[in-house]
Amino acid sequence: MARSALLPWHYAATTMVVLALFCLSGCERGGADAGIVRKLNAEGKSRGNIFPDREDYYGVFVLDDNNAWVVGNRGTILHLTDKGQKVAVLPTWIEKALYNVNFVDAQNGIAVGQDGLIAKTSDGGKIWKQVKLELPVEEWRPGLPHLFSTSRGTDPQKIWAAGPGGTIIRSQDGGETWEDLSLHRDVTINGIAFANDTEGWAVGEFGSILHTSDGGKTWQEQKNVQNLPKYTRPDLSEEDAIKQRVPQLYLEDLYLVSVAFRNEREGYVTGESGILLTTSDGGATWTNVPSGSFNTLLSIFPPGVQNVAVATGVLGTLATQEGDKWTVSPIVREHILTWLRDASFAKDSGFGLVCGGKGTVLITQDGGKTWQQLPKEKLEQAAASMGKAA
């Protein structure tokens, strides 16, 4: 029997939702929005015509109060300054989806995305240079894979990126050149995080939690996961599980999406069905903790200056941790009717951003305790200003 047949229907469905967030087109919409995009594509005018108030956003990086970037569908890149009060749409040649962005300072950064796309900037994002990526063809990886996640080491010139087909690549010169450190197996790697230049973790499908202590040259599986619910629904009794033919939950059933480490010891992993794993011993032991939601969690950001951790997910899920308790924001869930894909915070203040579907950008000034949505009017004005500048 195929493995998928062993999964409960909602597991398979949730996995498809997660994968859909990284679809090739990245621009499917309903109603009028879909009609506009289709019309532009049919007329050959879609190039350069982005809709920042409607595009899906996949990655965000906050450097400080005056520098934050959001990336998403069709090469959309936003630059936010003045704690998110000012927004600029950066014109680029990029037409593919960007899934992650990472800056070392106000000038130097990289963005990665669809079909192995790597773009590098040295002027804060005004000009982006494409970096050529070459990877060997594998049976399960016939072409260049999408790149979903990035992480820098203590040395900011060292960068790792990961994606499907067991893809893990590393740069030791700030993103100018890349070496292939991929796993020799067909597994999607959704998240990668390094605590320093040698200690790193990668997570993905089939409950994969991988650890390296040599900068990514070799990886070992971490399988000691405690306190997993017996079934995908923690409230399900054994009698009801038998009646509904719900199989018992095992680690390899999990679809893990994101990983983040606060230091070499303290880390977090998120996944489908509200799975949230924590470790305080570098991953030797992982413990599932109640996240306050059964919705898939797509990102995790460890506690910062305000000592608040933040997880985001589908259906407007935004959970924060204070002490040992996780709480889902009812206000965000009530008003945000789409997925929230990524979160990032300034190192020295409470300024942070969350990005998601349908032009969603949320702003906090208090480390994630309260949030406000970036007005769509600001995004429209930013797009109009870009058009005039062009």
User: Per CATH, is 3-293 categorized as 2.60.120.200?
Assistant: no
User: Any idea where the domains of the chain sit in the sequence?
Assistant: 3-293
**Mean pLDDT score of the chain:** 87
pLDDT at position 48 is: 54
| pLDDT tens-place string over residues 45-70 | 344 578 999 999 999 999 999 999 99
252: its two tokens: 């390899």
266: its two tokens: 């303290």
How far are the Cα atoms of 39, 104, 271 from residue 8, in angstroms, in the given order? 39, 42, 16
State if pTM tops 0.85: yes
Residues pairing with 71 in the sheet? 59, 77
Mean per-residue pLDDT, 281-286: 98
The fraction of the chain above a pLDDT of 70, given in percent, is 86
Instruction: Report the run of H or E that residue 240 belongs to, with start and end.
Output: helix 238-243
Rounded distance between C-alpha atoms, residue 387 and residue 390, angstroms: 5
Q: Are 96 and 117 in contact (CB under 8 A)?
A: yes
| pLDDT tens-place string over residues 144-166 | 999 999 999 999 999 999 999 99
pLDDT at position 46 is: 40
Rounded distance between C-alpha atoms, residue 27 and residue 351, angstroms: 29
**Residue 361 pLDDT > 60, yes or no?**
yes
How far are the Cα atoms of 17, 56, 88, 360 from residue 53, in angstroms, in the given order? 22, 9, 12, 8
Q: CB-hemisphere CA count at 13 Å for 194?
A: 27
Q: Are 382 and 87 in contact (CB under 8 A)?
A: yes
pLDDT at position 32 is: 46
3-class DSSP state for residue 94? coil
Confidence tier at 35 by pLDDT (50, 70, 90): low
In DSSP notation, 304-348 reads -TT--EEEEESTT-EEEEETTEEEE-HHHHHH--S-EEEEEE-SS
Between strands 297-301 and 309-313, the pairing is antiparallel
